[in-house]
Amino acid sequence: MANGLHQTMHQTLRHGGGLLGPGDLSQHLDIVRLRDGGSMTLRFVESDDAAALQDYFRGLSVASRYNRFLAAVGELPPGELEKTLHSGGNFFSILATLKSGGVDTIIGEARYAFDPVTAHFEFGLSIDDHLQGRGIGTVLLSNLQCRAVALGASTIFGDTLRSNEAMQALARKAGYSFAAMPSDWRLVRFEKSLDPTAETPCAGWRAHGREMAAAN
Ligand SMILES: CC(C)(COP(=O)(O)OP(=O)(O)OC[C@H]1O[C@@H](n2cnc3c(N)ncnc32)[C@H](O)[C@@H]1OP(=O)(O)O)[C@@H](O)C(=O)NCCC(=O)NCCS
Protein backbone atom coordinates (compact mmCIF):
# COMPACT_ATOMS: atom_id res chain seq x y z
CA MET A 1 0.00 0.00 0.00
CA ALA A 2 1.29 3.38 -0.87
CA ASN A 3 2.51 5.55 1.96
CA GLY A 4 0.35 8.33 0.58
CA LEU A 5 -2.72 6.24 1.24
CA HIS A 6 -1.96 6.28 4.93
CA GLN A 7 -1.69 10.04 4.88
CA THR A 8 -4.92 10.47 2.96
CA MET A 9 -6.73 8.04 5.24
CA HIS A 10 -5.73 10.03 8.28
CA GLN A 11 -6.80 13.24 6.62
CA THR A 12 -10.11 11.85 5.46
CA LEU A 13 -10.85 10.29 8.80
CA ARG A 14 -10.33 13.65 10.42
CA HIS A 15 -12.67 15.27 7.91
CA GLY A 16 -15.17 12.43 8.10
CA GLY A 17 -18.27 12.89 10.18
CA GLY A 18 -20.35 9.87 11.19
CA LEU A 19 -18.92 6.45 10.50
CA LEU A 20 -20.82 3.89 8.54
CA GLY A 21 -20.91 0.77 10.69
CA PRO A 22 -19.97 -2.70 9.44
CA GLY A 23 -23.66 -3.59 9.40
CA ASP A 24 -24.28 -0.87 6.84
CA LEU A 25 -21.26 -1.83 4.79
CA SER A 26 -22.10 -5.51 4.60
CA GLN A 27 -25.23 -4.62 2.61
CA HIS A 28 -23.04 -3.51 -0.27
CA LEU A 29 -21.89 -6.32 -2.47
CA ASP A 30 -21.01 -6.21 -6.15
CA ILE A 31 -20.97 -9.22 -8.44
CA VAL A 32 -18.90 -8.38 -11.49
CA ARG A 33 -18.33 -10.26 -14.73
CA LEU A 34 -14.81 -11.40 -15.60
CA ARG A 35 -13.20 -11.76 -19.00
CA ASP A 36 -13.49 -15.58 -18.87
CA GLY A 37 -17.26 -15.33 -18.30
CA GLY A 38 -17.04 -16.13 -14.60
CA SER A 39 -18.17 -13.77 -11.86
CA MET A 40 -16.29 -12.24 -8.98
CA THR A 41 -17.77 -10.90 -5.75
CA LEU A 42 -16.56 -7.63 -4.26
CA ARG A 43 -17.48 -6.94 -0.65
CA PHE A 44 -16.18 -5.01 2.32
CA VAL A 45 -13.72 -6.71 4.64
CA GLU A 46 -15.30 -7.75 7.94
CA SER A 47 -13.77 -8.65 11.31
CA ASP A 48 -13.97 -12.38 10.77
CA ASP A 49 -11.94 -12.09 7.54
CA ALA A 50 -8.72 -11.50 9.52
CA ALA A 51 -7.21 -15.00 9.20
CA ALA A 52 -8.24 -15.48 5.55
CA LEU A 53 -6.94 -12.03 4.63
CA GLN A 54 -3.57 -12.67 6.26
CA ASP A 55 -3.41 -16.05 4.46
CA TYR A 56 -4.07 -14.21 1.20
CA PHE A 57 -1.25 -11.73 1.83
CA ARG A 58 1.14 -14.48 2.97
CA GLY A 59 0.28 -16.36 -0.24
CA LEU A 60 1.31 -13.46 -2.50
CA SER A 61 4.78 -13.66 -4.04
CA VAL A 62 7.51 -11.62 -2.38
CA ALA A 63 7.49 -9.27 -5.40
CA SER A 64 3.70 -8.74 -5.28
CA ARG A 65 3.78 -8.03 -1.53
CA TYR A 66 6.63 -5.58 -2.02
CA ASN A 67 4.75 -3.86 -4.83
CA ARG A 68 1.59 -3.70 -2.76
CA PHE A 69 3.09 -2.48 0.51
CA LEU A 70 6.23 -0.75 -0.80
CA ALA A 71 8.12 -2.65 1.88
CA ALA A 72 9.32 -6.19 2.58
CA VAL A 73 6.52 -7.52 4.77
CA GLY A 74 5.25 -11.06 5.11
CA GLU A 75 1.71 -10.07 6.05
CA LEU A 76 -0.22 -7.07 7.32
CA PRO A 77 1.34 -5.69 10.54
CA PRO A 78 -1.16 -5.84 13.47
CA GLY A 79 -1.98 -2.11 13.36
CA GLU A 80 -2.63 -2.22 9.62
CA LEU A 81 -4.72 -5.36 9.97
CA GLU A 82 -6.87 -3.65 12.57
CA LYS A 83 -7.46 -0.65 10.26
CA THR A 84 -8.16 -2.92 7.31
CA LEU A 85 -10.79 -4.87 9.20
CA HIS A 86 -12.76 -1.78 10.16
CA SER A 87 -13.93 0.22 7.18
CA GLY A 88 -15.83 3.38 7.90
CA GLY A 89 -15.76 7.14 7.63
CA ASN A 90 -13.98 7.68 4.34
CA PHE A 91 -11.64 4.74 4.45
CA PHE A 92 -12.56 1.29 3.09
CA SER A 93 -11.11 -2.16 2.44
CA ILE A 94 -12.69 -4.58 0.03
CA LEU A 95 -12.15 -8.21 -0.89
CA ALA A 96 -12.47 -9.84 -4.28
CA THR A 97 -13.60 -13.44 -3.98
CA LEU A 98 -14.28 -16.34 -6.31
CA LYS A 99 -16.26 -19.44 -5.49
CA SER A 100 -14.06 -22.49 -5.57
CA GLY A 101 -15.53 -25.87 -4.61
CA GLY A 102 -18.47 -24.09 -2.99
CA VAL A 103 -16.16 -21.97 -0.84
CA ASP A 104 -15.49 -18.24 -1.28
CA THR A 105 -11.76 -17.73 -1.81
CA ILE A 106 -10.02 -14.36 -1.61
CA ILE A 107 -8.30 -13.65 -4.91
CA GLY A 108 -7.72 -9.92 -4.54
CA GLU A 109 -8.20 -6.89 -2.34
CA ALA A 110 -8.19 -3.14 -2.46
CA ARG A 111 -8.10 -0.29 0.01
CA TYR A 112 -9.32 3.17 -0.74
CA ALA A 113 -9.75 6.50 0.93
CA PHE A 114 -11.99 9.38 -0.11
CA ASP A 115 -11.25 12.92 0.94
CA PRO A 116 -14.49 14.93 0.70
CA VAL A 117 -12.61 18.23 0.98
CA THR A 118 -10.35 17.70 -2.03
CA ALA A 119 -12.72 15.20 -3.73
CA HIS A 120 -9.68 12.95 -4.21
CA PHE A 121 -9.99 9.17 -4.09
CA GLU A 122 -6.80 7.19 -3.42
CA PHE A 123 -6.45 3.43 -3.75
CA GLY A 124 -4.11 0.46 -3.70
CA LEU A 125 -4.95 -3.07 -4.87
CA SER A 126 -3.59 -6.55 -5.44
CA ILE A 127 -4.57 -9.73 -7.26
CA ASP A 128 -3.45 -13.27 -6.40
CA ASP A 129 -0.29 -14.05 -8.39
CA HIS A 130 -1.84 -17.16 -9.92
CA LEU A 131 -4.64 -15.08 -11.43
CA GLN A 132 -2.72 -12.01 -12.56
CA GLY A 133 -2.74 -11.14 -16.25
CA ARG A 134 -6.33 -12.30 -16.82
CA GLY A 135 -8.05 -8.95 -16.70
CA ILE A 136 -9.12 -9.19 -13.05
CA GLY A 137 -7.16 -6.07 -12.03
CA THR A 138 -8.90 -4.19 -14.85
CA VAL A 139 -12.33 -5.22 -13.55
CA LEU A 140 -11.43 -4.33 -9.96
CA LEU A 141 -10.09 -0.94 -11.05
CA SER A 142 -13.26 -0.23 -12.99
CA ASN A 143 -15.31 -1.03 -9.88
CA LEU A 144 -13.13 1.29 -7.79
CA GLN A 145 -13.84 4.07 -10.29
CA CYS A 146 -17.58 3.46 -9.82
CA ARG A 147 -17.15 3.78 -6.07
CA ALA A 148 -15.13 6.96 -6.54
CA VAL A 149 -17.77 8.57 -8.78
CA ALA A 150 -20.55 7.53 -6.40
CA LEU A 151 -18.71 9.22 -3.52
CA GLY A 152 -18.38 12.41 -5.57
CA ALA A 153 -14.66 12.15 -6.36
CA SER A 154 -13.26 14.33 -9.11
CA THR A 155 -9.82 12.67 -9.12
CA ILE A 156 -8.77 9.06 -8.58
CA PHE A 157 -5.14 8.23 -8.01
CA GLY A 158 -2.60 5.77 -6.66
CA ASP A 159 1.12 5.67 -6.06
CA THR A 160 3.28 2.81 -7.23
CA LEU A 161 6.92 1.88 -7.60
CA ARG A 162 8.53 3.03 -10.84
CA SER A 163 9.59 -0.58 -11.32
CA ASN A 164 5.99 -1.87 -11.13
CA GLU A 165 5.32 -2.39 -14.83
CA ALA A 166 2.09 -4.34 -14.33
CA MET A 167 0.43 -1.58 -12.29
CA GLN A 168 1.58 1.11 -14.69
CA ALA A 169 0.37 -0.93 -17.69
CA LEU A 170 -3.00 -1.46 -16.01
CA ALA A 171 -3.32 2.25 -15.23
CA ARG A 172 -2.17 3.33 -18.70
CA LYS A 173 -4.75 1.09 -20.36
CA ALA A 174 -7.43 2.57 -18.12
CA GLY A 175 -6.54 6.10 -19.23
CA TYR A 176 -4.50 7.33 -16.26
CA SER A 177 -1.70 9.86 -16.64
CA PHE A 178 1.55 9.72 -14.71
CA ALA A 179 3.49 12.18 -12.60
CA ALA A 180 6.75 11.98 -10.69
CA MET A 181 6.60 12.09 -6.91
CA PRO A 182 9.11 14.69 -5.74
CA SER A 183 8.76 13.38 -2.18
CA ASP A 184 9.94 9.88 -3.14
CA TRP A 185 11.98 9.18 -6.27
CA ARG A 186 11.04 5.47 -6.13
CA LEU A 187 7.38 6.24 -6.78
CA VAL A 188 5.21 7.39 -9.63
CA ARG A 189 1.65 8.68 -9.24
CA PHE A 190 -1.06 7.56 -11.68
CA GLU A 191 -4.09 9.78 -11.77
CA LYS A 192 -7.32 10.30 -13.70
CA SER A 193 -10.03 12.94 -13.65
CA LEU A 194 -13.56 11.74 -13.06
CA ASP A 195 -16.87 13.35 -13.80
CA PRO A 196 -18.74 13.23 -10.48
CA THR A 197 -22.02 13.75 -12.32
CA ALA A 198 -21.47 10.83 -14.71
CA GLU A 199 -23.73 7.80 -14.60
CA THR A 200 -21.91 4.84 -13.08
CA PRO A 201 -22.42 1.31 -14.37
CA CYS A 202 -22.56 -0.01 -10.80
CA ALA A 203 -25.88 1.39 -9.70
CA GLY A 204 -25.58 0.07 -6.14
CA TRP A 205 -22.88 2.62 -5.51
CA ARG A 206 -25.26 5.51 -5.96
CA ALA A 207 -26.99 4.46 -2.74
CA HIS A 208 -23.65 4.17 -0.98
CA GLY A 209 -22.65 7.63 -2.17
CA ARG A 210 -25.90 9.05 -0.80
CA GLU A 211 -25.32 7.33 2.56
CA MET A 212 -21.81 8.72 2.71
CA ALA A 213 -23.02 12.22 1.92
CA ALA A 214 -25.67 11.92 4.62
CA ALA A 215 -23.16 10.60 7.17
CA ASN A 216 -20.64 13.40 6.63
C1 LIG B 1 -0.92 -4.68 -10.70
C2 LIG B 1 -1.96 -5.79 -10.65
C3 LIG B 1 -3.06 -5.40 -9.67
C4 LIG B 1 -2.57 -5.95 -12.07
O5 LIG B 1 -3.64 -6.89 -11.98
P6 LIG B 1 -3.91 -7.92 -13.16
O7 LIG B 1 -5.16 -8.65 -12.86
O8 LIG B 1 -2.71 -8.75 -13.39
O9 LIG B 1 -4.12 -6.91 -14.37
P10 LIG B 1 -4.84 -7.20 -15.77
O11 LIG B 1 -4.75 -8.65 -16.10
O12 LIG B 1 -6.19 -6.59 -15.74
O13 LIG B 1 -3.90 -6.40 -16.76
C14 LIG B 1 -4.21 -5.14 -17.29
C15 LIG B 1 -3.21 -4.78 -18.37
O16 LIG B 1 -1.95 -4.54 -17.77
C17 LIG B 1 -0.91 -5.14 -18.57
N18 LIG B 1 -0.13 -6.02 -17.73
C19 LIG B 1 -0.57 -6.86 -16.79
N20 LIG B 1 0.48 -7.47 -16.19
C21 LIG B 1 1.57 -7.00 -16.78
C22 LIG B 1 2.97 -7.22 -16.59
N23 LIG B 1 3.40 -8.08 -15.64
N24 LIG B 1 3.84 -6.55 -17.34
C25 LIG B 1 3.42 -5.68 -18.29
N26 LIG B 1 2.10 -5.41 -18.51
C27 LIG B 1 1.21 -6.07 -17.77
C28 LIG B 1 -1.56 -5.82 -19.73
O29 LIG B 1 -1.40 -4.99 -20.85
C30 LIG B 1 -3.00 -5.90 -19.37
O31 LIG B 1 -3.84 -5.65 -20.44
P32 LIG B 1 -4.35 -6.85 -21.39
O33 LIG B 1 -4.92 -7.89 -20.46
O34 LIG B 1 -5.39 -6.22 -22.24
O35 LIG B 1 -3.16 -7.32 -22.10
C36 LIG B 1 -1.34 -7.14 -10.26
O37 LIG B 1 -0.25 -7.40 -11.10
C38 LIG B 1 -0.89 -7.20 -8.82
O39 LIG B 1 -1.67 -7.53 -7.93
N40 LIG B 1 0.41 -6.92 -8.53
C41 LIG B 1 0.93 -6.99 -7.17
C42 LIG B 1 0.42 -5.86 -6.28
C43 LIG B 1 0.61 -4.52 -6.93
O44 LIG B 1 1.56 -4.27 -7.64
N45 LIG B 1 -0.32 -3.60 -6.64
C46 LIG B 1 -0.28 -2.27 -7.17
C47 LIG B 1 0.23 -1.33 -6.12
S48 LIG B 1 -0.95 -0.03 -5.92
pLDDT tens profile 112-130: 999 999 999 999 999 999 9
pLDDT of 212 > 80? The answer is no
Of the listed ranges 58-67, 82-91, 142-151, the least confidently predicted one is 82-91
Domain ranges of the chain: 3-215
CB 148 within 8 A of CB 121: yes
CA distance readout (Å), 51 to 102, 111, 115, 163: 19, 17, 29, 30
End-to-end CA distance of the chain: 25
Continuous H helices in 31-71: 50-59, 62-69
State the pLDDT at residue 16.
30
State the pLDDT at residue 206.
57
Q: Which CATH number fits domain 3-215: 3.30.1130.10, 3.30.420.480, 3.40.630.30, 3.40.190.10?
A: 3.40.630.30
Distance 154 CA to ligand 1 centre (A): 24
Report the atom number in ligand 1 closest to the C-alpha of 124: 48
Distance 3 CA to ligand 1 centre (A): 20
H or E, element range at 171: helix 165-173
120-127 vs 155-161, strand pairing mode: parallel
Phi, psi (deg, nearest 5) at residue 71: -165, 160
User: Which residues lie below 8 Å from residue 133, measured CB to CB, with a gap of 6+?
Assistant: 166
pLDDT level of residue 100 (50, 70, 90 thresholds): confident
Q: In this predicted model, what pLDDT tens digit does every residue of 175-202 receive, in sequence order? A: 999 999 999 999 999 999 998 777 666 5
For all residues of the chain together, what is the average pLDDT? Answer: 85
Alpha carbons 34 and 113: distance in angstroms, whole number: 25
- What share of the chain has pLDDT > 90, as a percent? 69
Of all protein residues, the one whose alpha carbon is nearest to atom 33 of ligand 1 is 135
State the pLDDT at residue 56.
98
pTM for the complete prediction?
0.88
* Pocket probe mutation, ligand 1, options 68, 112, 132, 142, max atoms within 8 Å of Cβ: 132
Report the atom number in ligand 1 closest to the C-alpha of 134: 11
DSSP assignments along 6-41, one per residue: HHHHHHHHHH--SPPPHHHHTT-EEEEE-TTS-EEE
pLDDT of 25 > 90? The answer is no
